[in-house]
Amino acid sequence: MRHKSQASHFGRRPGPRKALVRGLVGALVENGRIQTTVAKAKELRRHAERAVTLGKRGGLHARRLLLARYPNKAIVERIVGDLANRFADRAGGYTRIIKIGKRAGDAAEMAIIEWVDHKLAAIVSGGEQPAANKKVVAPENKDETKTKVAAKRAKVAKKKAKKQAAMKSKKKPVAKKAAKKPAKKAGKKAAKKK
């Protein structure tokens, strides 16, 4: 048994696992915060913080190491430029993990991972959208909306009645059950006795 094994495998072979981490690091660098499972967030934290530390080192060798790990020039430039400058005076701990509860489909523990200097405008909990993103359309006239609602209800009722009428006309006559044939009594024994 291999002791002191620290990496999570996520039920994947090494290639898909590396691709997953690459994608998560890229998404975090681009967006500043992402929502994922707690296990993936903890693994992502290791890779993201090491990438920022390499970016802070600067230099050609650090850039080439980053390009080898994350083959996307835009992401590497953002790590070396923007993130390295933002965290120049910080010795480590560049990310924060906020647990947000369980996912509805499979009850997996979910979390938001973000850079520590990311502005905490509104923490999304339980998959709800922040109020700023919701569209609120005020009706111009209440009478117009009432007539629209009534027309829609009438249309739905008409469709329902039409569907029920179609179902009644499609009723098939019940087929008669075939009469059961009498079971044969012990065939071989009866043949021998004759």
Which residues are CB-neighbours of 72 under 8 A, at least 6 positions away? 26
Q: What is the pLDDT of residues 56-82, one digit of tens each?
A: 999 999 999 999 999 999 999 999 999
DSSP 92: S
Task: Give the whole-angstrom CA distance, residue 49 versus residue 71.
Answer: 17
Q: Where are the alpha helices (DSSP H) in the chain?
A: 14-31, 38-57, 59-69, 73-78, 84-86, 142-169, 187-193
Is 16 exposed, middle or buried (CB count within 10 Å of its CB: 0-12, 13-18, 19+)?
A: exposed
pLDDT by residue (tens digit) across 113-161? 999 987 643 344 344 444 444 455 555 566 777 787 888 888 888 888 8
pLDDT tens for each residue of 9-62: 999 999 999 999 999 999 999 999 999 999 999 999 999 999 999 999 999 999
pTM above 0.75, yes or no: no
Please write the tens of the pLDDT for every residue from 170-185: 666 666 666 666 666 6
Output the six-digit token pair for 64. Answer: 């080439």
